[in-house]
Amino acid sequence: MTAHTPVADRAAEAARAAAPCERGATVWLTGLPSAGKTTLAFALAERLRHEGHKVEVLDGDEIREFLSKGLGFSREDRHTNVTRIGFVAEKLAANGVKVLAPVIAPFADSRAAVRERHAAAGTEFLEIHVATPVELCAERDVKGLYAKQAAGELSGLTGVDDPYEAPTTPELRIQTQGRAVAESAAELHAFLTERGLA
Ligand X SMILES: Nc1ncnc2c1ncn2[C@@H]1O[C@H](COP(=O)(O)OP(=O)(O)O)[C@@H](O)[C@H]1O
Ligand Y SMILES: Nc1ncnc2c1ncn2[C@@H]1O[C@H](COP(=O)(O)OS(=O)(=O)O)[C@@H](OP(=O)(O)O)[C@H]1O
Residue type, 169: T
**DSSP classification of residue 128:** E
Q: Which is nearer to ligand X, 94 or 138 (CB)?
A: 138
**Site for ligand X contains 184 (CB under 6 A):** yes
Q: What separation in angstroms does the CA of 61 have from each of 15, 95, 178?
A: 30, 24, 26
CB 90 within 8 A of CB 118: yes
25-30 and 98-102 beta bridge pairing:
parallel
Quick one: which segment of 2-10, 117-125, 152-160, 177-185 binds ligand Y (CB under 6 A)? Answer: 152-160
Binding mask 106-145 for ligand Y (x = CB under 6 A): x------------------------------------x-x
The dihedral built from the CA positions of residue 181, 187, 192 and 196, taken in this order, carries a sign that is: positive
Per-residue string for binding with ligand Y, 38-57, x by CB under 6 A? x-------------------
CB of 122 to ligand X, least distance (A): 29
Please check if 32 is assigned to a binding site: yes
Nearer to ligand Y, 47 or 148 (CB): 148
The beta-carbon contacts of 8-15 under 8 Å, at least 24 apart in sequence, are 8/119, 8/120, 8/121, 8/122, 9/122, 10/122, 11/121, 11/122, 11/123, 12/122, 12/124, 15/122, 15/123, 15/124
Give, as ranges, the residues between 94 and 113 that touch ligand Y (CB under 6 A): 103-106
Residues that bind ligand Y (CB under 6 A): 33-34, 37-38, 60-61, 64, 73, 78, 81-82, 103-106, 143, 145, 156-158, 162
Residue ranges at the known binding site for ATP? 31-38
Task: Indicate the annotated binding residues.
Answer: 31-38
